[in-house]
Every structure is written in C-alpha cells, then in structure tokens.
Amino acid sequence: MLDMLDAAGVRYLFHAFASGVADDAVVFESKSGPLAIPATVVVDCTGDGDVAAAAGADFEVGREEDGLTQPMTLMFRMVEFDRGRFADYVREHPDQWRGVLGLWDLVARAQAAGELELPREDILFFATPHAREVSVNSTRTNPGPAIDTWALTAAEWASRRQMRQIVRFLREWVPGFEDAYAAQSGTVIGVRETRRVVGEYMLTGEDVLQARAFDDAVARGSYPIDIHNPRGEGTVLKRLPPGTAYDIPLRCLIPRSTDRLLVGGRCISGTHEAHSSYRVTPIAMATGHAAGVCAALASSSDLPPREVPHTDVQQELLRQRASLRPELAQRLTEPEPDRR
C-alpha cells in the first residue's frame, strides 16, 4: 500500500492527529508540535468526522429517540487453537448451540459459576487464513459516545477486562482452546458509530432495505442493517432482498454546511439505521474512493465539491474500475448517439 502511495506521488504524514481547522488548513498535533497543513479540498475519513465537526459541519450522533450509539468492541486473536477438536465438539453437541455461533450451554454454566459475565448474546468466532488461529468478536461496552475521550477510556478498560475473562473461559471450558492463548488484540477498542455528518442528502434505512437507486450514485452496498443493541444484549439484523444492492449518492459525501469538505467512510450522511449498513469496510472503502475522486476533480477544476458534476465523478470512478450499478455504468459508458 505504501509503495502504491509512493508511486502515485502522495505526500503523507504519520503520527499526527487532526485537532482543528484554521483558515485554509487542517491543524494536526504531533511530536514536532502543531502543524497546519493547507488544502484546497479536505476529505475527512476519520470515521468520527473530527475535521468536519471542527469545520462547523452539522452532524448527528446515535439513535433518533435517545442519541445512543452502537456499542464498542475490542477484538482479539487466539493462537494454538485446535480447530479440528473444536469442530468435533460442535458436531457432537448440536443441542448446546444457539444457531452455529452461540456456545450457549457452556456460557450459561460458566455464568452460573460466576466465571463469566458476557455482555452480549453470542460469541462470534472468525476463522483466519491460519489453521491454528481464531479471531474473537465478543466484548461489548457502551459507557458513552466514543467521541467523548472519558467514555472511550472507560470502554477501553472495560473491554480489556472482558477480553481477559473471555480468554480464561475459552481456555478452561471450551474443547479446542486448552492450549490457546491471546496473541494480539486491537491496539485500540473498535468503534462502530459516532458522528454522522449531515450532507446534501441523508441516506435512510428505507433506502437501504428497498435497494434504492440514485442518479448521482458513487458507491453501492448490500450489507444488512446491523444494529448491536446500545443498551446490552441483542442485535437487529434486516436484510435487503437477495441479489440486490442500494446506491449511495454523491450528496451523502458533501456536508451541507461547509464548502471545501468531503466525507468518506462511516461518517458520511445517513440515519442511524442506514449507517449500520454502510459502516462496513468494503462500503467505507467505496465511499472513500468516491470522496477522493470528487476532491481531486474539485481541486483541479477550482470548484467546490458540490459543483462538480456527478457524472464526471461517476465517469472517473468507472475508469478506475469502481463498482457501480450495472444499468448506471452502462448508461454512462454508452457512446453518444451520432447526431449528424
């Protein structure tokens, strides 16, 4: 990835934290003191919309009814895991499973013995490319919005405690984990939801579930609405009709109250419900791609992002082999009819 950035002539800066905006620059805190990086157009991909908020963009946080956000989760990987023994155990004890993901009988017994306080309804295991490794997604904590540093600190600590307990439970109770140990956790807790910057259009849960098409689409997604309960156990999962995808309009990447800013990734414009779908990695990558293309066109044509024709963004995205709705892609790439 770094080789690609070098090949493209990108000048990048690590170890710098965007903390504000001043005149035509974004201000970063760094080891060498505050740095002001001037820019004609800025793309905020902080996940939290930090730069957008500092620039005065409108934003929303959490559910409409109470402002609560999805909980945070620290993921970790265990190694020296015996996948075969674990799979045998699962096959031999199907009655102990709630679906294929719950380890419910053992969890209930460990909880009754006071050895586990699982804050959610499942233990999610993800296979990795390594046979003796498993990734575990099962901590859950929500002491407050993750843009509040005190809440983030409390969440970090709570999730690390939970991780210690879950690792002990897996090693002591679950066949296949006898020799396993936690080799690595996320360097920081994972945050699902914070600011949603309000753009020229706000994608809704209905747009997602109805697989709605938009003329100014610059990305698309098909991941379900997936809301982990902000208050504890339970996850809402609502799927799109099979084989369909929804569009994300360019307007969702253009904050309505700023001029030279775009957003990409999970902080784009949408409701709490829509966010729970477009927050995932492939869709965040696609909106980041679109925001970058629009920013480059805005900068080279000396226009604010909202005045860049959406068809120009779409054409460039298609040239760069982005995935857009096939009918739209076909319409945009059809040769102009010969009018002689």
Ligand X SMILES: Cc1cc2nc3c(=O)[nH]c(=O)nc-3n(C[C@H](O)[C@H](O)[C@H](O)COP(=O)(O)OP(=O)(O)OC[C@H]3O[C@@H](n4cnc5c(N)ncnc54)[C@H](O)[C@@H]3O)c2cc1C
CA-CA distance, 111 to 192, in Å (whole number)? 27
C-beta closer to ligand X: residue 284 or 313: 284
CA-CA distance, 148 to 50, in Å (whole number)? 12
C-beta closer to ligand X: residue 287 or 314: 287
C-beta closer to ligand X: residue 82 or 194: 194
Q: Cβ 51 to ligand X, closest distance in Å?
A: 7
The closest alpha carbon to 48, from 17, 78, 79, 77, belongs to 17
Q: How far is CA 288 from CA 84, 228, 264, 330, in A?
A: 40, 24, 4, 23
Question: Residues in the site for ligand X, rule: CB under 6 A?
Answer: 17-18, 45-48, 50, 73, 75, 137, 190-192, 265-266, 279-282, 284
- Could you tell me if 52 and 265 are in contact, meaning their C-beta atoms sit under 8 angstroms apart? no
C-beta closer to ligand X: residue 64 or 187: 187
Three-class SS state of 203 = strand
Query: At a CB cut-off of 8 Å and minimum separation 6, what does 114 contact?
Result: none
C-beta closer to ligand X: residue 102 or 186: 186
Q: Cβ 45 to ligand X, closest distance in Å?
A: 5
User: Could you tell me the maximum CA-CA distance found in the chain, to the nearest angstrom?
Assistant: 84
C-beta closer to ligand X: residue 41 or 286: 286
C-beta closer to ligand X: residue 77 or 266: 266
Q: Cβ 36 to ligand X, closest distance in Å?
A: 14
Q: Cβ 46 to ligand X, closest distance in Å?
A: 3
Q: Cβ 160 to ligand X, closest distance in Å?
A: 14
- Could you tell me if 218 and 122 are in contact, meaning their C-beta atoms sit under 8 angstroms apart? no
Q: Cβ 150 to ligand X, closest distance in Å?
A: 17
CA-CA distance, 135 to 124, in Å (whole number)? 8
C-beta closer to ligand X: residue 147 or 313: 147
Amino acid 179 reads: D
Q: What's the token pair of residue 192?
A: 């699902």
Q: Give the CB-nearest residue to ligand X.
A: 265
Q: What's the token pair of residue 163?
A: 């991780």
- Helix (H), strand (E) at residue 18: strand 16-22
C-beta closer to ligand X: residue 76 or 328: 76
- Could you tell me if 68 and 141 are in contact, meaning their C-beta atoms sit under 8 angstroms apart? no
Q: DSSP string of 244-300? A: --EEEEGGGGSBTT-SSEEE-GGGSSB-HHHHHHHTSHHHHHHHHHHHHHHHHHHHH
Q: Cβ 256 to ligand X, closest distance in Å?
A: 19
Q: Cβ 181 to ligand X, closest distance in Å?
A: 21
CA-CA distance, 213 to 219, in Å (whole number)? 11
Q: Cβ 32 to ligand X, closest distance in Å?
A: 15
- Could you tell me if 260 and 23 are in contact, meaning their C-beta atoms sit under 8 angstroms apart? no
